[in-house]
Chain A
Amino acid sequence: MSIENINGCIGCGTCVATCPTDVIRLNKQTKKAEIKYPADCQICHLCRMYCPVDAITISPEKSIPVIVSWG
């Protein structure tokens, strides 16, 4: 996991728009941002830097997918 959590989200959508690799989406029900495609996070922190309420926490770890024969 790279974006660890989004806590205190006000649902403005800035992080969704800002993420270069489209990791975050707004949840239709909760109207808050959620980590939708964590495997594509490039750990660049742009979402955190643009977030107006500092809601995003990011860790430097990224799990590498296991190697398989087809997928």
Chain B
Amino acid sequence: MKRDKKTLSRRQFIGAAAGVAGALMVGPTVLNGWSENMKKLNEADVAYEDLEADVLVIGGGMAGLFAAVKANDAGAKVMIVSKGRLGASGQTPFAKGIFIYDPQKEKVSLDEFVNSVSASAIGTNNAVYTRQMAEHSLARVAELREWGFFDSPLYNNAFSKPIGQRNIPLIERVTITHLIKEKGKIAGAAGFSVDYQKLYFFKAKSVILCTGAGGFKPNGFPICDLTHDGTIMAYDIGAMVTGKEWNDGHAGKAENAAACFDGWGTMFERKPGLTGVEIHHDLGVDMNYVAYKTGNPVNTRGPGMATANVVGGPYRPAEFQRNGPPEREPGPGLAKRAPSGGRGDRRPPRGGDIPKDGGPPPMMGTSVGGSSAGMAIHKSEGLVPINDQCESNIPGLYAAGDALGSYMAGAIYTQVGSSLAGSAVQGAIAGEAAAGYSSRVEKVEISESQRKIIQKEILAPLKRDAGYSPAWVTQTLQGIMIPNFIIYIKKENLMRAALTYVEELRDHHMPMLRASDMHELRLAHETRNMIISAEMKLKASLMRTESRCSHYRLDYPDMDNENWQAWINIYKGEDGNMQLKKQPFGTWPDGSEL
């Protein structure tokens, strides 16, 4: 076979790839071996590696860290795979505040905390998960402190400590595209290396999705590597998904809107800190409504003042109204804020001095919306839990953190700092539960027929000589979904119009996504996930004919407690089409009370 001189022979390649995989597995700090991306796909040069674990943790953020540690400590053989780097991808690296509830110090009882969150969430929260987060937060924070988490603004070292101590194999820069189900339960997962022409098959009794949330690669928020991957691959094998109608309402600044670092002042460079009990009703779509009514510049001097000349808009419970000028909003991981009691409201970061108590700086200048477009309120979207153990409706499949639709905080931002704490708590719960499950079941083999289908699906974009680039399809999708009048200030005719466009992308363009190298292959799979997620968002938003929390319908501006005290679950029907059904608030999917 004639070879390009720049191309390694298959034998050389497999040797090199195996060496890197081996090196990565002994510790997370080995950083050799990355090289220029290889362009031409030669089927014979594609390498394969099979790996095995009892519990496979997908994702290396806060949830993934605790899932791996606790599953290991419960006796399971664990492996972590991440498409990024441990503690340095997803939203975790940018989350600088973590909630603790210390029963010895807090003035409010756990019951009062849960009740207050439930009042702000207007029924949308799952009180079992609300309580669980607060109850376990102190213990998780203590462990993080021991690992050195609070000593550096960069989390990779602290995260590497417990993983290294336990010799938990860690595979980075591998994008998982498929969950594998055999005989009705989890059999593993599959994906590819972004550095080499190499596919991975993971055999596992149990998988914990710690894959974070996602968006439409929006400008101004550090979520361009998050595309709801876990949610979509779980949906593909029959998992129920929830929360797609809700929105995170972060705005950005007009000047250099894409510069998320600058938008948060220097918050990303700070060491993490602690937050205590504070209940809010923030970060919904109030500002989007004002922007829709008045255009830019939006008067951001506070909801009371900003909305003085604007009639209507999202409902805010009376006890969570704010007076006076706004101050700051929590960061992606809900950074520490000013004490509650009149100051502060939802508003975008704008630069300026960093407050000493940790929050993002006060904003200045003109804002633009859609900074986090495609993402819902933390933990309101993701897999539907069937119990308090982070378990999905697929036996062996668990999720934790932003990949789990736990409704821990409800469909509006209610708890300061709880996002990071919730990911830690849920990761630990899921890890122990998955370890328990895997000790009770036999491993299921991955069938040859499934392997062949998955290999073909993973590599398909690389094999196309013609088609559509992921960057162009993504840009087109952004143009359809991100406008304020589609995703935020919703009405039926425009959502139906957008859905028609999204269905075109799904039916015609998605099957023709092409990739010229492994980097673009990752983009192609991410683009597919965003298209399916857009379809989910529009269909759930159309179904919910009311306004509540961070979902606002211009044509149904009121809350409808008669018909809509319910979450919306999305699943793939037997015909392959997307199905939606209600699950009453306060119940598990089988109808039993929480």
Query: Could you tell me which A residues sit within 8 Å of B by CB distance?
Result: 2, 12-14, 16-18, 20-22, 25-28, 36-37, 39-40, 42-46, 49-50, 58, 60-62, 64-65, 67-68, 70-71
Q: Among the listed A16, A21, A28, A62, which residue makes an inter-chain contact with B31, where contact means beta carbons less than 8 Å apart? A: A16
| Docked complex Cα distance between A28 and B6 (Å) | 10
A25 contacts B224, CB within 8 Å?
no
Does B37 lie at the interface of the complex (its beta carbon under 8 Å from any beta carbon of A)? yes
CB contact under 8 A between A60 and B519, given known A13-B31, A16-B34: no
A20 contacts B89, CB within 8 Å?
yes
Q: Among the listed A12, A58, A65, which residue makes an inter-chain contact with B475, where contact means beta carbons less than 8 Å apart? A: A65
Task: Kindly identify, within residues 469 to 498 of chain B, every residue whose CB is under 8 Å from any CB belonging to chain A.
Answer: 469, 471-472, 475, 479
Min distance, Cβ A26 to any Cβ of chain B, angstroms = 5
Closest to A47 in B: B88
**Between A and B, how many residue pairs show CB distances below 8 Å?**
107
Min distance, Cβ A1 to any Cβ of chain B, angstroms = 11
Return the CB mask of B506-532 against A: 1 if under 8 Å, else 0.
Answer: 000000000000010011000000000
Query: Which of chain A's residues have a CB closer than 8 A to the CB of B33?
Result: 13
Does B153 lie at the interface of the complex (its beta carbon under 8 Å from any beta carbon of A)? yes
Nearest 9 interchain pairs by C-beta: A71-B472, A60-B259, A62-B258, A13-B31, A60-B256, A42-B224, A20-B225, A45-B261, A20-B89
What are 12 A-B pairs with beta-carbon distances under 8 A? Answer: A13-B31, A13-B32, A16-B31, A16-B34, A17-B88, A18-B88, A22-B522, A40-B224, A42-B260, A45-B268, A61-B258, A67-B475
A49 contacts B153, CB within 8 Å?
yes
Q: Among the listed A14, A21, A37, A43, which residue makes an inter-chain contact with B259, where contact means beta carbons less than 8 Å apart? A: A43
Which of B31, B32, B37 has the most chain A CB atoms closer than 10 A to its own CB?
B31
| Docked complex Cα distance between A28 and B37 (Å) | 10
CB contact under 8 A between A20 and B88, given known A13-B32, A43-B261: yes
| Docked complex Cα distance between A59 and B146 (Å) | 36
B93 contacts A26, CB within 8 Å?
no
Return the CB mask of B86-114 against A: 1 if under 8 Å, else 0.
Answer: 00111001100000000000000000000
Min distance, Cβ A4 to any Cβ of chain B, angstroms = 12
Does B564 lie at the interface of the complex (its beta carbon under 8 Å from any beta carbon of A)? no
CB contact under 8 A between A71 and B468, given known A25-B37, A44-B260, A62-B256: yes
Closest to B6 in A: A28
Min distance, Cβ B260 to any Cβ of chain A, angstroms = 6
| Docked complex Cα distance between A12 and B29 (Å) | 11
Closest to A33 in B: B34
Query: Which of chain B's residues have a CB closer than 8 A to the CB of A44?
Result: 93-94, 222, 260-261, 268
Does B388 lie at the interface of the complex (its beta carbon under 8 Å from any beta carbon of A)? no
Q: Among the listed A12, A18, A26, which residue makes an inter-chain contact with B85, where contact means beta carbons less than 8 Å apart? A: A18
A13 contacts B34, CB within 8 Å?
yes
B269 contacts A28, CB within 8 Å?
no
Min distance, Cβ B327 to any Cβ of chain A, angstroms = 23
Does B229 lie at the interface of the complex (its beta carbon under 8 Å from any beta carbon of A)? no
**Beyond A20-B84, A22-B173, A49-B268, 6 extra complex contacts between A and B, CB < 8 Å:** A16-B31, A16-B34, A17-B88, A50-B88, A50-B156, A71-B471
Does B194 lie at the interface of the complex (its beta carbon under 8 Å from any beta carbon of A)? yes
A43 contacts B225, CB within 8 Å?
no
| Docked complex Cα distance between A44 and B261 (Å) | 5
Query: Which of chain A's residues have a CB closer than 8 A to the CB of B519?
Result: 22, 36-37, 40
CB contact under 8 A between A20 and B224, given known A28-B35, A44-B94, A62-B256: yes
